[in-house]
A and B are shown apart, each in its own frame.
Chain A
Amino acid sequence: MSDLLAAMAALRTPAATAAGRGVTSDLTIDETLLLHSVGWEPVDLVVGVSWWSLPWSSWQWRTGEVGEASQAFAGAMAQATDEMRQECLRAGGTGVVGVAVELSVRSTNIQVALAGTAVRAIDHHPRPPGKGRSAATFVSDLSARDFSLLLRAGWAPVSLVAGASFVIAPRRSASQWAQQKTQSMEMPNLTQALYLARERAMERMQEGAMSAGADGVVGVKLQEGPLAHNARVMRFIAVGTAITLVEVEHRTVSPTMVVSLDDPVVQFAATTLGAQV
C-alpha cells in the first residue's frame, strides 16, 4: 500500500490512541527528519519572556556607557532563558533548539522574548558512544539542522549567550572641531567610545560562555546601531550559542563537492587576475 493510502486509512481510525499529551513543535519536516537521523525528537513548544524596567533618566545628561541598560538586558536575558529551561524540563525535554530571540529596547524598559522547540534523545535509539558528558538543559538559537550537524561532528550546544552595551557618544572638543573642518583625520574620542562599547558587549557574551564551561561560541550575531527612540545612543548586542566538545575529539564530516546543474544562465565574471611578473 502506498504511503498516502496508508495515511488516508489512518484518518479513519479514532483519535486519542496516542499516549501522552501530544507533541507540539515549530520545526519543519526537514528539520524533524534531520533530528531523527541523529536520534532525537521534538517534544514541545516552549517560551520564555521577561521585561525589565529602566530609569528613564539613564539616557540623559551623560556620555559613556549606560550601565543600567546593560544590567536590564542581562537581567531580562537571564530570566527569559531560565523560564524557558524550566518549561523544557517540565515538558520532559533535554534542551531547546531553534530559539527565536526577540529583543526590544525601549526608553523605559527592555523586553526579551524567546520561543523554541524542546527536544530530547529518543530512548530506544542507540546513541553514539562518547564521553557521555550530559550538559545542563541547553538553550540555543541554532536551528535543528545545525544542531544535528554539530552532534554528528561530536559537539553539543551548552547555552545561548548574549552581551549588550549601550553607549552615548561623546561630543567633540572645541579644538578638535575647529581642526576637523578641512582635515581628514581619525576622531579618537568617538572611536574609543564605540570600540569600548563593542568590546564590552563581546566580553559579556564571552563571560556567559565561560561560566557555562563551554569550549567555544559559534554563530555570533552583532546587532549595532543607534536606538530607535534616541539616536545618540549606540547599542551593541552580541548573541551566540556556546558549544562544547562531547566526543573525545572532533569528528570530520568529509563533505563531497558537487556541481549543481540548476543555473539556467551562466554569467561571465572575471574572478581571478594573475599578478604581473
Chain B
Amino acid sequence: MTVAPEPAARDGVPEAAERRLRSGAWSSGLSVADFATCLQMGMDPVGFVQGYAVMQWSWTTNRFGPSAAWGGFTVPGGGYQENYYCPHGYVSPDHRAYGMNVEQRWVEDAWNQGWWLAFDRMMDEARQLGAHGVIGVVDDRHPLAGTGTQEFSARGTAVVVPGADPPAEPFSTLLAGQRLAKLIEAGFAPVSVVAAASSVAMLGNCITTYQLSGTSTGWFAGAGAVTEIAQVGRAQWAVRNLAREQARGQLHGDTLHGTSMDVFEREMGEGSLAIQCVIRGNRVRRFKDFSPLPAPAPVVRLT
C-alpha cells in the first residue's frame, strides 16, 4: 500500500505564485453559474490555485519490481501476485512455462508521487491564502512532447467560509456549483479529494498466450475452443480491486462519493498486457441525520 508523501517534504511552489496570491483581486476557474451558487451557499472565493509536477515516465516493464513473497494473492501488505504455471512439463526453450499477474508497485509509486506532489502544491497555495477549502478541483496528466515524461497538474478555486473556524486542513473536492450545494444540503461535508492508481502486468503463460492469439491450431488441448481466458480476467479484476481498496484506505470510515474509474490497457508484446486503473472521487462525511427528500414531482415539458 502506498501512502501520499508528507507535505513538509516537498518544496517547489514558485515565487511568482507567492506574488500572485498576495495581490488583491482574486481569479477563479468557476463558471458564472458555479460562482453564483458558491456565493449563495455562503462561500467566498479567494483565489485560483494550482500545482504541477513533472515525472519521469515509462509504461514498459523489464523488471517486476520488489514484491514480498512468491505465490498466492495477498492484499494489501505485500504486492498482488499470482503465478500461472504451465501444465505441460518441459517442451522447448521458447515455451512459456511460467506466467504471472503482478502488481507494478513502481508504476503506482510514480503515479502517486506525481499526483500528490501536484495536489499538495495546490493545497499549499490555498493555505497561503488562508483558505478553508478548495472546490472544483480538476486534475490532469499528459505527456510532455517527446520527452518521456508526464506532467501532473491540479487546479481549483480556494474559498473561505465567513463565520466558520478554519479547519485543521483545508477541505478539497472535485465538485462545485449546484452539485456541491446539493451535497451539503443532503447532509454531507466535503473532506478531501481521493485519488488512487493501480497497475498490474499480465505476463501470459503458454495457455494464456495461446488463447489470446486465437486458439485455432496446435497440439494444445482446447484447439479451436471458445473459452474463458482466466489469467486475463483475473488480472483485470485485480487491477480494479486494488485501486478500489487503495481508495478505501484513504477514507478512514467516511464515504466516497461521485467516483470515476478509468482503466487503460496496453499490449507489451505477445501475450502480455499492462493494465492501469485510476479511481478519483470525493471523501465526504455525514454531519446531519438522514432525512429523505419528499418524492419529486414528475413533469413533461412542452418545450
Q: Which residues of A contact B (CB under 8 A)?
A: 2-12, 15-30, 32-34, 36-39, 45, 47-58, 68, 71-72, 75-76, 79, 83, 107-109, 111, 113, 115, 122, 125, 149, 152, 253-260, 262-263
Going nearest first, the 3 A-B pairs with the smallest beta carbon separation are A56-B214, A10-B287, A108-B214
Return chain A residues, CB-CB under 8 Å to B233: 49-51, 79
In the complex, identify which listed stretch (B28-36, B91-99, B148-156, B254-262) lies at the interface while the others stay far away.
Answer: B254-262
- Chain A proximity of B224: nearest CB distance (Å): 5
B22 at interface, CB cutoff 8 A: no
Complex: A111 Cα to B225 Cα, angstroms: 16
Q: With A11-B285, A33-B182 as given contacts, are A49 and B236 in contact (CB-CB < 8 Å)?
A: yes
CB–CB A9/B226 < 8 A: no
Shortest CB–CB separation between residue A240 and chain B, in angstroms? 22
11 residue pairs of the A-B complex, CB under 8 angstroms, read A7-B287, A8-B167, A9-B287, A11-B189, A22-B253, A26-B261, A30-B182, A47-B241, A50-B228, A53-B212, A258-B301
- Docked Cα-Cα span, A38 to B190, in Å, equals 24
Contact of B254 among A22, A52, A122 (CB under 8 A): A22
Q: Provide the residues of chain A in CB contact with B240, threshold 8 Å.
A: 47, 49, 115
- A5, A8, A9, A20 — most chain B CB neighbours (10 Å): A8
- How would residues 218 to 260 of chain B score, 1 for a CB under 8 Å from any chain A CB and 0 otherwise? 0000011111110011001100110010011001111111111
A sample of 4 more A-B contacts (CB under 8 A), given A25-B255, A26-B258, is A4-B184, A18-B286, A29-B186, A257-B299
Interface size on B, residues (CB 8 A): 76
Question: Interface residues of A: mostly helix, strand, loop or mixed?
Answer: mixed
Kindly provide the distance from the CB of A227 to the nearest chain B CB, expressed in whole angstroms.
Answer: 14
- Interchain CB contact (< 8 A) of A258 among B161, B236, B287, B299: B299
Closest to A124 in B: B290
Task: Give A16 to B167 CA distance when docked, in angstroms.
Answer: 17
B171 adjacent to A11 (CB under 8 Å): yes
Contact B292 A37 (CB under 8 A): yes
CB-contacts of B177-227 with A (<8 A): 179, 182-191, 211-216, 223-227
- The chain B residue with its CB closest to the CB of A122 is B290
Given contacts A4-B41, A26-B258, contact A55 B225 (CB under 8 A): yes
Residue B163, interface by CB 8 Å = yes
- A-chain residues with CB within 8 Å of residue B292 when the two chains form the complex: 36-37, 39, 125
A255 with B303: in contact, given A11-B285, A72-B226 (CB under 8 Å)?
no
Query: Is B297 on the interface with A (CB-CB < 8 A)?
Result: yes
Cα(A51)–Cα(B193), bound, Å: 33
Q: Beyond A45-B244, A55-B215, is A22–B226 a contact (Cβ under 8 Å)? A: no
| B11 in the interface (beta carbon within 8 A) | no
Q: How far is the CA of A10 from the CA of B286 in the complex (A)?
A: 8
The reply to whether A24 and B214 contact each other, CB–CB distance below 8 Å, is no
User: Which one of B186, B215, B216, B233 has the greatest number of beta carbons of chain A within 10 Å?
Assistant: B233
> Are A54 and B214 neighbours in the complex by a CB distance under 8 Å?
yes
Q: Chain A contacts of B236 at CB under 8 A?
A: 49, 51, 111, 113
Contacts of A48 in B (CB 8 A): 237
Residues of A contacting B294 with CB < 8 Å?
37
Chain B contacts for A72, CB-based, 8 A: 226
Expressed in whole angstroms, the Cα–Cα distance for A76 and B28 within the complex equals 47
Chain B residues in 8 Å Cβ range of A262: 303
Decide: A8 and B132 in contact? CB cutoff 8 A: yes
- Which residue of B has the minimal Cβ distance to A152? B295
> B25 near A: Cβ within 8 Å?
no
Whether the pair A29, B214 counts as a contact (CB closer than 8 A) is no
A39 to B295 alpha-carbon distance, docked (Å): 10
Instruction: Say yes or no: A36 contacts B293, CB within 8 Å.
Output: yes
Residue B145 lies at the interface, judged by CB distance under 8 Å to chain A: no
Using Cβ atoms and an 8 Å threshold, which residues of chain B touch A263? 303
Instruction: Tell me the minimal C-beta distance from B288 to chain A in angstroms.
Output: 7
Residues of B within 8 A of A10 (CB): 189, 285-287
CB nearest to A2 among chain B residues: B42
> Whose C-beta in chain B lies nearest to the C-beta of A19?
B253
B184 contacts across to A, CB distance below 8 A:
3-4, 7
Q: How far is the CA of A58 from the CA of B216 in the complex (A)?
A: 9
Is B296 on the interface with A (CB-CB < 8 A)?
yes
CA distance A72 to B214 in the complex (A): 12
Nearest-Cβ distance from residue A89 to partner chain B, whole angstroms = 15
Q: Are B161 and A8 in contact (CB under 8 A)?
A: yes
